Amino acid sequence: MGCINNQQCGGVTGAGIVARGIKERQSSGCHECCSTDGCNSDLCKHQKPSSCIDDETVDCAKMNSYFHVCQDIHQAKLVCPKFCNLCTLVDGNWADWSLWSSCDVTCDNGSQTRSRICTDPAPANGGLDCIGSRTETKICQRDSCPVHGGWSLWTAWGSCSVTCGVGMQRRDRSCSNPYPSLYGDHCFGEARDDRICMSTACSGWKIAFTAHGVSTHGRSVIFPIVDHNYGGGYNSNTGTFTCPVAGIYYFAVTLRKDISADSDQVYCQLFINSHSTLGTGDNLINDDKSSYSMTMSGTFHLNRNDHVSVGNCYGADALMNSHDCAFTGFIVLPDN
């Protein structure tokens, strides 16, 4: 091929040979650096020919007969392209890389890609495809992302605010999963939650009693047979109701004289803490000694541990010992 100007030899000096690689065909002129014409010419034997010709040093027919050289397309295209009918074969070559894509994130670390296509030229008629990757990826970095706040789990419900009746319970959560930072949003919603709770009903909400029958103790009347005693305020041994919860109460006493009793008058009073509050009155005197009944009732405010009873009775022995004589009471409205 002859030498070219030494200035294109890369400034190589000293011993050694500068030439192209043997695995690929040189696309431009074969630059061999030497001191005489024709030196190292064998290194340039396989330049890409301008016309499809076979290597004159090779007997292609014999090589194909003995060694089936045409079956090895990529060897045959170098030495016997015309004999093996490979003149239209084109090995592929990569076109230039595309520009890098924009970073796929707006904050923190992301990636960029670029691609290339095998079109310079494209492989044809059995030619080799391009070797290597069609895409490349590289890391791109942006500013750190804002961290938006997230709620922690709710705490367990706290204890009820009252030991009986209706109260409130509370639970909390915090914006700490994670904490907001770098101008991230705070958690949306409530950090505190309340709900109604009621562990057990208070006795002040369910206080009522009814007792009947008659038993006398001095001038006091005891009603020994208890029908109901919600809240446990009535004592059937003493006939006394003891207030468990302060509030407004209603009491009623019904007394019935036995027609067979030899008495013309029965008289009793309702006492609160030894003070008379209600009485039957003298107008219930019945001189003919026949049967009659009397009722006294009213509403009263009681403080805790106040006592209510029926006493100061006259003629109690004439009362009927049955359901016709009864003492009842219940709470109307407890104090706050």
Residue 315 lies in a domain: yes
**Domain match, 45 and 121 both:** no
**Domain match, 260 and 328 both:** yes
* pLDDT, greater one: 10 or 303: 303
Residue 195 lies in a domain: yes
**Domain match, 163 and 210 both:** no
pLDDT band of residue 284 (cuts 50, 70, 90) is very low
Q: Are 267 and 288 in contact (CB under 8 A)?
A: no
Residue located via tokens 């008495």: 263
Domain of 141 in residue numbering reads as: 90-145
**Domain match, 210 and 326 both:** yes
**Domain match, 237 and 275 both:** yes
Q: Are 310 and 220 in contact (CB under 8 A)?
A: yes
Residue 84 lies in a domain: no
Tell which of 145, 160, 192 closes a domain: 145
**Domain match, 271 and 194 both:** no
**Domain match, 265 and 327 both:** yes
Tell which of 38, 57, 79 closes a domain: 79
**Cα–Cα distance measured from residue 62 to residue 55, given in angstroms and rounded to the nearest whole number:** 13
Q: How many domains does the chain contain in total?
A: 4
**Domain match, 188 and 129 both:** no
**Domain match, 155 and 260 both:** no
**Domain match, 134 and 154 both:** no
Specify the pLDDT at position 172. Answer: 96
Residue 85 lies in a domain: no
Most confident of 72-81, 257-266, 299-308: 299-308
What integer is the mean pLDDT of 174-184? 93
Specify the pLDDT at position 274. Answer: 86
- The tokens describing 292, both together, are 């009659």
pLDDT band of residue 217 (cuts 50, 70, 90) is confident
Reported as a single tens digit per residue, the pLDDT across 233-262 is 999 999 999 999 899 999 999 888 877 777
Tell which of 145, 160, 177 closes a domain: 145
Least confident range from 66-75, 221-230, 297-306: namely 66-75
**Domain match, 109 and 187 both:** no
**Cα–Cα distance measured from residue 179 to residue 320, given in angstroms and rounded to the nearest whole number:** 80
Residue 289 lies in a domain: yes
Specify the pLDDT at position 319. Answer: 86
- The tokens describing 210, both together, are 């009814």
- Give the closest residue to 241 by CA, choosing from 228, 259, 255, 254: 228
**Domain match, 209 and 329 both:** yes
